[in-house]
Structure 1
Amino acid sequence: MMVKLSDLARIIFGGALLAANSVVHILPLLLVALIKAVLPFTPVRQACNRVLMALAASWISVNSWLLDHFTATRIEVEGLPDKEMAGQMLVVCNHQSWVDIPVLQKLFNRRLPLLRFFLKSQLIWVPLLGLAWWALDFPFMKRYTREQIERRPELAGRDIAATRRACRKFRDLPVAIVNFVEGTRFTPDKHDTQNSPYRYLLKPRAGGLAFTLDAMGDALHTLVDVTIAYPDGRPSLADLLANRVGEIKVHVRQLPIPEHLRGGDYHNDPEYRRDIQDWINQLWRQKDSMLDKLQAVPSTD
């Protein structure tokens, strides 16, 4: 019982520290975003963008510092870039837990451009955070179910148009667009329901990634392929704050995006659709093999 009470105290206290850090950074961030919206002149917007990126990097740095000093979690990483990478790039990662996000932010803060995630449209209503994501130009997407699209086929076109609008503003900015290609977090039940051919992964969904490549065109050249493993089991954010995550293993590699895949009509071109699906499936086979190694090989201190 005492252990559970101790864990609860850590979760509450750690959550309060992260919330306080968010408030400290989000309030000035919203002020700068308001200036950017009210004074839409190119020099002002460029200056505001620099301040926004600096605030976001500081916010992530403090969160990472808190996790470093509040938990004993060890992150073992291979292939991390030695210095900051510039330009536009696509980041793909397997998705097992909400812990994936602070891990990615900690590893790539000031090494890649600010990571931007495609978010469900409902998340705009999350207090403070929704406004912060809006201010940082995170793309909000309206998701439609297969049944909705079957009843109203035009909804599929809205997804594509929304992706293009979201990515268009990134063509002239340094950006790292994160795509969780599985579309949802891994669970054994989802794995069994899909009858996934991979041991540690759900089936990849190539559509969202293809729409991003279409919208960004030739602006995207580099793929940053990230594989995250939790040898102690898939954790929750509460597990992380309660110091129940002993080790996280991460493998990173940089790959060129094949030229013939940078811009194509996934919806209407069967050959392009087959090519990009073959490319993603090959990446996923390699990722599944890497996860097998990360789970099996013990860490060396």
Structure 2
Amino acid sequence: MARLLGNVMGVLSVILYFINTVFWVIPIVVLSFLKLIPIKIWRTALSYPLDGCATSWITVNNINQNIFSRTKIEVTGTESLSLQDWYLVIANHQSWVDILILQRVFNRKIPFLKFFLKRELIWVPFLGIAWWALEFPFMRRYTKSFLAKNPHLKGKDLETTQKACEKFQTKPVSIMNFVEGTRFTPEKYQRQSPSFQYLLKPKAGGMAFVLSAMGSQLHKLLDVTIYYPQGIPTFWDFVCGKVKSIKVHVSVTPISELLQCDAFAEDYFDNPAQRVIFQRWLNSVWAEKDRRIEQMSAEQ
């Protein structure tokens, strides 16, 4: 009986997610087309109601979770957060539920979370223009083989991304990056010759790209640790109320400290030695995260 009730609650929750998404997608798409008018002050003005729609979408999703999932989320480290700061957010990645939890934890505490997207995604019907209007930064990364044939384009991808991010100089933003590059699974964990107990190996390239493109604009690094005491859940587990509790810890580090330390330098992509230094620094961050998860596990 309990299982049947959970499945019914899950179905109702999914329906509410769908209705909420359709409800807010309509004004976002309409505002997105209006934003095509190439007047800077007009586009800047429209960015605020667009972010407002996205924030309201998350707020209703959070209400949905409180009604149906009823998951207790224990959060530490968010006391100093502000809507007026610029953030780079990194986190371990285990489930699609991670995104819902990050949105729930940070909603109305920091600017709306945005992801760097591949430039090709701008052509996805409706979503592409919505991402563009919501000012998700699009990046273009050239492969080594392409640059070998077109050496004059070296550094052009980063320059293009930096130019696209200029709009964030006057409007606070939060950029999200899952540095593991993929979700944790036991199979992926074993293939990597495990270096950590609970985590996949972090990849420095994406984070270095964000810092190279936006480092001078960002204020703080938020390192988020997400731990599921009952085991890594699926989305269906979450909507059915099977995830009773989640622990989240946020570590805050000024970006200025990161840029001034030996771990990062502007020649990251051209200097193999510098890439090694930055990767070692990120590995140390992940080792600390691994110890924190072990501590969270021991506190159950």
With structure 2 as the length reference, what TM-score do the two structures score?
0.86
Deviation at 1:250, TM superposition (A): 0.3
Could you tell me whether the CA contact under 8 Å between 1:99 and 1:237 is conserved in 2?
yes
Aligned twin of 2:292: 290
Aligned twin of 1:28: 27
Deviation at 1:46, TM superposition (A): 2.0
Aligned twin of 1:178: 176
* Cα distance change on mapping 1:226 and 1:239 into 2, 3 Å: same
Aligned twin of 1:206: 204
Which residue of 77, 89, 92 maps to 1:91? 89
* Cα distance change on mapping 1:83 and 1:30 into 2, 3 Å: same
Question: Bigger CA drift: 151-160 or 254-263?
Answer: 151-160
Question: Bigger CA drift: 92-101 or 116-125?
Answer: 116-125
Superposed, 1:94-243 pairs within 5 Å as 94-119=92-117, 129=127, 131-140=129-138, 149=143, 152=146, 160=158, 163-164=161-162, 167-243=165-241
Deviation at 1:15, TM superposition (A): 1.2
Equivalent position SS for 2:241: coil
List per-residue Cα deviations over 1:42-95 (Å, max 9, x = no partner): 321221011111111111101111111112211011112355342321001000
Equivalent position SS for 2:253: strand
Question: Bigger CA drift: 268-277 or 2-11?
Answer: 2-11
Deviation at 1:251, TM superposition (A): 0.5
Which residue identity lines up with residue 105 of structure 1 in the other structure?
Answer: Q
* Cα distance change on mapping 1:163 and 1:188 into 2, 3 Å: farther
Identity of aligned residues (%): 44
Cα root mean square deviation, aligned: 2.7
| Structure 2 gaps, min length 5 | none
* d(CA) in 1 for partners of 2:117, 2:100: 15
Deviation at 1:31, TM superposition (A): 1.4
| Structure 1 gaps, min length 5 | none
* Cα distance change on mapping 1:116 and 1:264 into 2, 3 Å: same
Deviation at 1:25, TM superposition (A): 1.0
* d(CA) in 1 for partners of 2:234, 2:164: 29
Question: Bigger CA drift: 225-234 or 171-180?
Answer: 171-180
Equivalent position SS for 2:90: strand
List per-residue Cα deviations over 1:173-197 (Å, max 9, x = no partner): 2111011000000111111101121
* d(CA) in 1 for partners of 2:15, 2:128: 18
Could you tell me whether the CA contact under 8 Å between 1:118 and 1:139 is conserved in 2?
yes
* d(CA) in 1 for partners of 2:282, 2:97: 24
Question: Bigger CA drift: 247-256 or 272-281?
Answer: 272-281
Which residue identity lines up with residue 259 of structure 1 in the other structure?
Answer: L
* d(CA) in 2 for partners of 1:6, 1:142: 47
* d(CA) in 2 for partners of 1:130, 1:232: 36
* Cα distance change on mapping 1:276 and 1:118 into 2, 3 Å: same
Deviation at 1:295, TM superposition (A): 1.9
* Cα distance change on mapping 1:269 and 1:168 into 2, 3 Å: farther
Equivalent position SS for 2:216: helix
Runs of 4+ more than 6 Å apart: 155-159
Deviation at 1:271, TM superposition (A): 3.8
* Cα distance change on mapping 1:107 and 1:293 into 2, 3 Å: same
Equivalent position SS for 2:252: strand
1:246 equivalent to 2:248? Answer no
Could you tell me whether the CA contact under 8 Å between 1:70 and 1:241 is conserved in 2?
yes
Aligned twin of 1:77: 75
Could you tell me whether the CA contact under 8 Å between 2:72 and 2:244 is conserved in 1?
yes
Superposed, 1:49-68 pairs within 5 Å as 49-68=47-66
With structure 1 as the length reference, what TM-score do the two structures score?
0.86
Could you tell me whether the CA contact under 8 Å between 1:215 and 1:263 is conserved in 2?
no
